Amino acid sequence: MNLLAGKRIVLGVSGGIAAYKAVEVCRLLVDAGAHVMPVLTGGATRFVGRATFDALASERARMSLFDEEDPIPHTTLGQTADCVVVAPATARVIGSYAAGISSDLLTATLVATRAPVVVCPAMHTEMWEHPAVAANIATLVGRGVHIVGPESGHLAGGDEGAGRLSPPANIAAAVNRVLEARRQPSDMDGLSVVVTAGGTREPIDPVRYIGNRSSGKQGHALADEAVSRGAQVTIVTTVDRPAPPGAAVVRVDTAAQMAEATAAAAAGADVVVMAAAVADFRPVAPVGVKLKKRDGAPAVHLEPTPDILAALGASKPPGQILVGFAAETCDLVRNAAAKLRDKGADYIVANDVTAQGAGFACETNEVLVLSSDGRVHSIGLRSKRQVAQAVLDLVVADRVAQTAQQENQ
Q: Name all domains of the chain by residue range, CATH numbers in brackets.
A: 8-182 (3.40.50.1950), 192-408 (3.40.50.10300)
- pLDDT for the residue 1: 47
Residue 71 scores a pLDDT above 90 = no
CA distance 14 to 61: 13
351 noted as active-site residue: no
Q: What percent of the chain has pLDDT over 70?
A: 97
pLDDT at 183: 62
Q: 368-390 burial string, b = 16+ CB within 10 Å, else e? A: bbbeeeeeeeebebbbbbbbbbb
Amino acid present at 315: S
Model confidence band, residue 182 (pLDDT cutoffs 50, 70, 90):
low
Question: For the CA atoms of the chain, what is the radius of gyration?
Answer: 25
pTM assigned to the model: 0.60
Say whether 303 sits in a helix, a strand or coil: strand
CA-to-CA separations, 99 to 88, 108, 274, 380, in angstroms, rounded: 18, 12, 30, 25
Mean pLDDT score, 312-326: 96
**Could you read off the pLDDT of 131-167 as tens digits, one per residue?**
999 999 988 888 888 888 887 777 766 677 778 898 9
Closest-CA residue to 363 (of 182, 100, 174, 163) = 100
Query: Residue 193 pLDDT more than 70?
Result: yes
Per-residue DSSP letter, 319? T
Q: Is 98 helix (H, G, I), strand (E, B) or coil?
A: helix
pLDDT for the residue numbered 25: 94
What is residue 362's predicted lDDT score, i.e. its pLDDT?
Answer: 84
Instruction: Note the pLDDT tens digit of each residue in 99-132.
Output: 999 989 999 999 999 899 999 999 988 889 899 9
Catalytic residue among 212, 335, 351, 365: 212
Distance CA 323, CA 346 (A): 6
**282 pLDDT more than 70:** yes
